[in-house]
Each structure stands twice: as structure tokens, then as C-alpha cells.
Amino acid sequence: MKTRQTSIDCYNEIRANGLLSKRRLEVYEAILKNAPCTTNEALKDIYSGSHGVGSRTTELRDVGVIYEVRTRSCRITGRNVIEWDLTDRLPINIKKTNKTKKQRVSDTLNSLRELYKNKNTSTDEDWKMVADLIKSI
């Protein structure tokens, strides 16, 4: 399958501006060359048996530069796994927090309660803030 021009343009901007760490960029480039593909199909030539590479795909998904297409049988392992493809978006910054999951859930619930109390006057920005809190859980 031919890679879309918007994905290529996005890749060029990510690379030129150093928007991904070295390891994430390596995985992103491997997916670019093989997309749509599974993690093992993308990395077959560069990371034979390397540990921790699969988590880079999850990180790339979390920052919005790749997405899960579907689940299918991998041509290398034969297992049912996720097929990945590129988006046409630049990475978003996900803010790290030292709060526990319980604290993040509590903050989110409190924000939802406030949003409900002020439902007639809430703005799109208020809703986006709550959505971001939900994503952080």
C-alpha cells in the first residue's frame, strides 16, 4: 500500500523538528516503511528479538502519530495482533503526573461534577479539560 502524502509530510516535520525521541522515531520510521503493518512486520529487519519495542508503538499511539487499524494475523508470528498505520498529525504532549490513579480518578469525577453543576454555562474548553483528565487515567 502506498503511504499517503499527508503522512509523509507529517513524518518530515516530525524528523526535522525532533518531535520524537530517538527510539520512538526509529519505530515510527519502520512503520512508515511498512504501513499498514503489525509491530513485528515493521521491525523485522532492525530489532530481531529486542525487548521493549512493542511499548514504543503504544507510546506512539498515545501521542497520536499512529493508530490501531484492526486486529489480524501477523505474517511473521501467525498470532492475532494489532495492525498499525500512520496518522497525519504531529505528536501531542502528554503531561506526566506524579498523582496516583486513584487521585486522577477522583480529580476527574470532581471535574465532571462541576461541569454538571455548570452545564448551562460550560464552554467547549471545559469539556476538553475533562476529556484530557479522562485520557490521563
pTM of the full predicted structure?
Answer: 0.63
DSSP string, 55-109: HHHHHHHHTTSEEEEEEEE-TTT-SEEEEEEE-S-PPPPPPP----HHHHHHHHH
- Closest to 97 (Cα-Cα) out of 108, 111, 89, 113: 108
Residue 76 in contact with residue 38, Cβ under 8 Å? yes
Please give the pLDDT value at position 48.
Answer: 54
Structure confidence by residue, pLDDT tens digits, 63-108: 999 999 999 999 999 999 999 999 988 888 755 567 788 888 888 8
Please give the pLDDT value at position 108.
Answer: 87
Please give the pLDDT value at position 49.
Answer: 54
Highest mean pLDDT among 52-61, 75-84, 112-121: 75-84
